[in-house]
Homo-oligomer: A and B are copies of this chain.
């Protein structure tokens, strides 16, 4: 799809990066940005000089693609307010890290009023806010689309085409499957990076090399948003934490018992799995 008008609601790092990437991918398209706060217009304008920016949702009118970049808890009321400016052909998607709860809250509101499909770009940074946005954030990044039995084939096709135009690698799965898999590959790492920072403490930070730096990078992310994500995907995350706890007990036990064979086997198994991931 080649959208003529792309509206992005409440952009931070991700929404701002979509705006920058879409400006390059669709040079003839108009980018329209809605922000809740008038005092953020100037910083958005400096990040996106060519964009049309307003605190009035009427700027959605005529958009063929609407991207919801607000936190998951803010989405239902935002969509309620946006409904007058959507048409049944408007493609509406989001960027939330959780999908089943977003699906359950948004799909009924948008049913027959727009073409809705959930999106989750697996890209980010420890930095947040539109100032941290990057035009290349989605290059080779996985973006997960979460169609349901109610999603039309053309909605999946157009959302796939849009993200691919920004450089992303698109995968498709159900909202529930998304939440289970992302618990393991994203939400668990966030919990663990956070715990590692607290366990390592402040006293040895001057000694930190690239190992500590990379292992803990994501722990600097926005706390309130992450609290919301972790609680929204609570059941899957608790299961992942239980897996982690079991693996940690095995590793600790091998060290405790000075069991070099078991310890080497554990380290080698993890190294082999990790080495299957291509260099970034």
Q: Which residues of A contact B (CB under 8 A)?
A: 122-126, 141-142, 144, 171, 181-182, 184-186, 188-224, 226-228, 230-231, 234, 237-238, 240-241, 243-248, 251-252, 255-256, 258, 260, 263-264, 266-271, 273-277, 280
Q: Are A200 and B215 in contact (CB under 8 A)?
A: no
Q: Are B203 and A196 in contact (CB under 8 A)?
A: no
Q: Are A195 and B275 in contact (CB under 8 A)?
A: no
Q: Are A199 and B247 in contact (CB under 8 A)?
A: yes
In order of increasing CB-CB distance, the 7 nearest A-B pairs are A122-B209, A223-B267, A199-B244, A223-B268, A197-B270, A220-B274, A194-B270
User: How far does the Cβ of A276 sit from chain B's closest Cβ, in whole Å?
Assistant: 7
Q: Are B186 and A142 in contact (CB under 8 A)?
A: no
Q: Are A258 and B271 also in contact (CB < 8 A) when A124-B209, A195-B244, A196-B188 are?
A: no
User: How far does the Cβ of A234 sit from chain B's closest Cβ, in whole Å?
Assistant: 6
Q: Are A189 and B211 in contact (CB under 8 A)?
A: yes
Query: Mostly helix, strand, loop or mixed at chain A's interface?
Result: helix
Separation of A238 and B249 alpha carbons in the complex (Å): 11
Separation of A209 and B181 alpha carbons in the complex (Å): 12
Separation of A217 and B275 alpha carbons in the complex (Å): 9
Q: Are A192 and B194 also in contact (CB < 8 A) when A184-B204, A221-B271, A280-B210 are?
A: no
Q: Are A215 and B213 in contact (CB under 8 A)?
A: no
Q: Are A199 and B243 also in contact (CB < 8 A) when A215-B214, A216-B189, A260-B231 are?
A: yes
Q: Are A211 and B230 also in contact (CB < 8 A) when A191-B251, A195-B244, A197-B270 are?
A: no
- Residue of chain B at shortest CB distance from A248: B195
Q: Are B207 and A144 in contact (CB under 8 A)?
A: yes
Q: Are A195 and B258 also in contact (CB < 8 A) when A210-B280, A277-B208 are?
A: no
Q: Are A196 and B192 in contact (CB under 8 A)?
A: yes
Q: Are B198 and A181 in contact (CB under 8 A)?
A: no
Separation of A268 and B100 alpha carbons in the complex (Å): 26
User: How far does the Cβ of A44 sit from chain B's closest Cβ, in whole Å?
Assistant: 23
Q: Are A238 and B256 in contact (CB under 8 A)?
A: yes
Q: Are A231 and B258 also in contact (CB < 8 A) when A208-B185, A219-B271, A247-B195 are?
A: yes
